[in-house]
């Protein structure tokens, strides 16, 4: 891989780029298949762009349903019929006799699953419903989860595996918000989106309670870019939909979508 490949990616992403390029060359040059764990949209984009650089490699991505955010990838030599291959996805259905289950949110379910010692990259999208939750997972952790997941946020729950065809998708609604900001710094945009003072935002960011693209981000000055998904614990998530250039006064126009 020429070093020119790195210039398209952030230095933080080098480690993933190296791993992904290894999967691609193993598939294209040595006829190996690689089934990845769940990738976030940025990682999937990187992997796809690397596959496109290799004449003999192909990729299949799936997160269990049309429009999935997190997906597993199968990287293979381009003569394999990938449509026939399974990406080993399962769906965990979590339900409860307790009516308070309608108060649980995405973070409650994810926290309980990770609390069992599982890695985030074995978990796909989480669909919260009023009567429980459907979680897309890697098939290989299914039996472990149905055996061990009995509680979410102190509520007793029942978990079972259902087929991917039975997945109920929760509709994601993004509430639009237009901002003009002095800079694209994380702390500035977060404080504008949630209408908090800059100093109020710095504390949770430095404490690791803010995530950018599913990764804790403790640097308040990190610049955000279009496509970034930001979550601040206790306040919800938003997505940077687009950067609309500069105003006459040199401020940035930013379109935000808040997950509601």
Structure letter (DSSP) for residue 69: S
Neighbours of 140 (CB within 10 A): 12
Residues 160 and 179 in one domain: no
- 196: pLDDT strictly greater than 80: yes
Residues 255 and 180 in one domain: yes
Q: Measured over all CA atoms, what is the biggest interatomic distance in the chain, rounded to whole angstroms?
A: 60
Residue spans of beta strands (DSSP E) within 33-157: 34-39, 57-62, 71-77, 89-95, 123-129, 132-138, 151-152, 155-156
Per the structure block, which two tokens stand in for 71?
Answer: 């997906």
Q: Tell me what the pLDDT averaged over the chain comes to.
A: 92
Residues 183 and 255 in one domain: yes
Residues 30 and 95 in one domain: no
Domain closes at, from 166, 188, 208: 166
Residues 142 and 186 in one domain: no
Residues 133 and 206 in one domain: no
How do beta strands 174-181 and 215-216 pair? unpaired
Domain closes at, from 135, 166, 197: 166
CATH of the domain at 219: 3.10.290.10
Burial label, 249 (beta-carbon count in 10 A; 0-12, 13-18, 19+):
exposed
Cα 4 to Cα 55, 57, 71: the distances in Å are 18, 20, 27
Closest CA to 91 of 125, 135, 127, 133: 135
pLDDT tier, 234 (very low <50, low <70, confident <90, very high otherwise):
confident
> What pLDDT is stored for residue 215 in this prediction?
78
What's the rounded Cα separation, in Å, for the pair 220 and 191?
A: 11
For helices 41-51 and 14-30, angle between their N-to-C axes, nearest 10 degrees: 40
Residue spans of beta strands (DSSP E) within the chain: 34-39, 57-62, 71-77, 89-95, 123-129, 132-138, 151-152, 155-156, 158-162, 174-181, 210-212, 215-216, 229-232, 236-246, 252-259
In contact, 253 and 244? CB cutoff 8 Å:
yes
pLDDT tens profile 126-141: 999 999 999 999 999 9
CATH of the domain at 138: 3.30.70.330
Residues 40 and 107 in one domain: no
Task: Look at 142 and 107; give whichever has higher pLDDT.
Answer: 142
- Domain range for 221: 174-259
Question: pTM of the entire structure?
Answer: 0.75
Residues 158 and 211 in one domain: no
> What pLDDT is stored for residue 174 in this prediction?
83
Residues 52 and 95 in one domain: no
Closest CA to 127 of 64, 55, 184: 64
pLDDT tier, 32 (very low <50, low <70, confident <90, very high otherwise):
very high
Number of domains in the chain: 3
Domain closes at, from 56, 84, 112: 84
CATH of the domain at 73: 3.30.1370.160
pLDDT tens profile 41-86: 889 999 999 999 999 999 999 999 998 999 999 999 999 999 889 9
Residues 104 and 139 in one domain: yes
What's the rounded Cα separation, in Å, for the pair 168 and 1?
A: 42
Residues 107 and 137 in one domain: yes
């Amino acid at each position: 891989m020429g070093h020119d490949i790195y210039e398209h990616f952030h230095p933080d992403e080098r480690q993933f780029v190296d791993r992904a390029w290894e999967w691609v060359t193993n598939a294209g040059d040595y006829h190996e298949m690689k089934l990845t764990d769940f990738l976030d949209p940025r990682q999937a984009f990187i992997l796809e762009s690397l596959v496109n650089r290799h004449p003999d490699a192909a990729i299949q991505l799936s997160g269990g349903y049309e429009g999935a955010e997190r997906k597993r990838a199968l990287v293979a030599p381009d003569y394999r019929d990938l449509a026939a291959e399974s990406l080993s996805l399962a769906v965990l259905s979590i339900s409860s006799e307790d009516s308070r289950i309608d108060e649980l949110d995405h973070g409650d379910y994810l926290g309980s699953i990770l609390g069992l010692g599982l890695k985030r990259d074995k978990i796909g999208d989480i669909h919260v419903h009023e009567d429980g939750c459907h979680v897309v997972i890697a098939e290989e952790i299914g039996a472990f989860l149905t055996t061990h997941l009995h509680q979410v946020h102190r509520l007793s729950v029942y978990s079972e595996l259902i087929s991917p065809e039975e997945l109920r998708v929760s509709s994601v609604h993004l509430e639009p918000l237009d901002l003009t900001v002095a800079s694209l710094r994380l702390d500035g945009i977060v404080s504008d989106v949630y209408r908090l003072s800059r100093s109020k935002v710095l504390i949770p960011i430095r404490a690791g309670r803010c995530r950018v693209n599913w990764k804790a981000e403790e640097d308040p000055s990190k610049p955000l870019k279009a496509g970034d998904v930001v979550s601040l614990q206790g306040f919800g998530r938003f997505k940077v939909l687009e950067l609309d250039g500069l105003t006459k006064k040199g401020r940035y126009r930013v379109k935000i979508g808040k997950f509601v």
